Structure 1
């Protein structure tokens, strides 16, 4: 049995409008999307990727997340928070060495500050933008999550950062959805590979250029990033996992199951 395993989790769902996900489509109808996050266990230290929504926001969503919840309404229980779900696997907060962040939108920052031994890793461009976002993007960022005191940060200025130095987890710069967005290429000991597109491609429609996302800071960067991910996915014979696809997400094995 390999010590390297990929676990897929979900911290509830968000209800939005169809056009928030696929631009100019859906005629205003509601659309409920999963909020995924990931755990990779590794002999050199376990890593959480993103972490979903922050569980403490559930008590008063408007106070915690602001008006963003009027557009992306969270449906989640405290038991679906990342710490509680890891506990069900027997993993304690002290066991986590890294919190790796695709970007700093609030549905991806639920793991920040919860793991006392963790190094938090994000692209520098994303970190800087989160504190001074453009007006149209400000609602996506929740300082209650990422502006906590006494956090240990590593800010990346590079593409293809290899977390363990063994090819298991590589960070792929994919700006467009946000200025410093990154996706991840996971290669397990069996040879099984996954492309965690995260919000570079909400759905497979975005991954295969059948739709534009409803939110992005740069359409041209977003398009180039998806093309880059497709090429890497083909090169590594990887399985793409889009960021918020309610049709595709149920096809994967979720925790307590795993891939190795």
Structure 2
């Protein structure tokens, strides 16, 4: 069996905020309700055939409307790495919440990979309900629909191999069509978990983020993450600031992390027992 080529994976922090602990855990994680930081990331995959951008982040408008601190525009963050928006040929949207799917139209040459059920959910009748649409942005959803009409949306249904060593896997739960990304790296098969686990505690304690649409799928998704990864340390949460200290930073930029090199020290997932059944 031919081994898949290894890719580089960069986590790029572009925004942050701090809010009460209770806002991040459905079951009330901390009885003292201390402040809880949240980091916002993009992920850039460099593979043998080009670049894959996982999520597109949000810009100044959404940051102002939602009270987030924008450290740098996502396009500026990419430019600092020598990558222009026109260079991106593939975008994977893990889901269509505002902090993951803003600015899709700013990548004019990209084919955008999104789950069919996420498209249907984000533009469907459930959005009549404020509780369902809270994490969506109508302008971002409209931008995705325009991209669909441009013929640049590639909808997938379930798991799909995109390139050698790069695949997407449907987990749902947090949003109808939430997908995670698995990448073959020098450190092993790494999983960009996105919002399948916001923080290390989310999966370790089985305590979901309070924005969700399918509780059983959300909880079952925790096991799925570890079925996909070669090592529990290679499951990377979507919003945990500790990723910044656990993985090596790109020289000269502490907000860009070289995930493909593996963690510097064991992560909080290190003690989690791996599932008996593993995904090939």
TM-score bracket relative to the smaller structure: 0.7 to 0.9
Please give the alpha-carbon distance, in whole angstroms, between the structure 2 residues aligned to 1:33 and 1:209: 18
Q: Distance in 1 between matches of 2:132 and 2:25?
A: 17
- Preserved contact between residue 167 and residue 182 of structure 2 (Cα < 8 Å): yes
Q: Runs of 5+ in structure 1 lacking a partner?
A: 63-68
Show the counterpart of 1:10: 13
Contact 1:126–1:179 (8 Å) recurs in 2: yes
Q: Secondary structure at the match of 1:244?
A: coil
The 2-side partners of 1:16 and 1:91 are apart by: 32
- Structure 2 residue aligned with 1:43: 48
SS at match of 1:146: helix
The 3 A distance-change label for structure 1 pair 44 and 141 is same
Alpha-carbon contact 2:189-2:228 (below 8 Å) kept? no
How many correspondences in the alignment?
240
Identify the residue that residue 65 of structure 1 maps to in structure 2.
none
Instruction: Call closer, same or farther: CA 1:3–1:219 in 2, change over 3 Å.
Output: closer
Residue by residue, what CA displacement relative to the aligned partner does 1:37-96 show, whole Å, maximum 9, x if unpaired? 1001123221100122224434xx33xxxxxx2xxx31114xx22211111111112111
Deviations 1:146-169 (A, max 9, x none): 31234510111122x1111x1x21
Match of 1:76 among 66, 70, 79: 70
Quote the Cα distance in structure 2 between the aligned partners of 1:55 and 1:193. 34
Tell which deviates more after alignment, 96-105 or 85-94.
Answer: 85-94
Equivalent residue, structure 1, for 2:135? 140
Normalising by structure 1, we get a TM-score of 0.84
Q: TM-score, normalised by structure 2?
A: 0.78
Q: Distance in 2 between matches of 1:8 and 1:253?
A: 10
Q: Which residue among 95, 99, 123 is the counterpart of 1:131?
A: 123
Asked whether the equivalents of residues 103 and 126 of structure 1 are also in contact (C-alpha less than 8 Å), the reply is yes
Cα deviations by residue, 1:181-230 (Å, 9 ceiling, x for unpaired):
01111112x35331111111111112223423222111111011111112
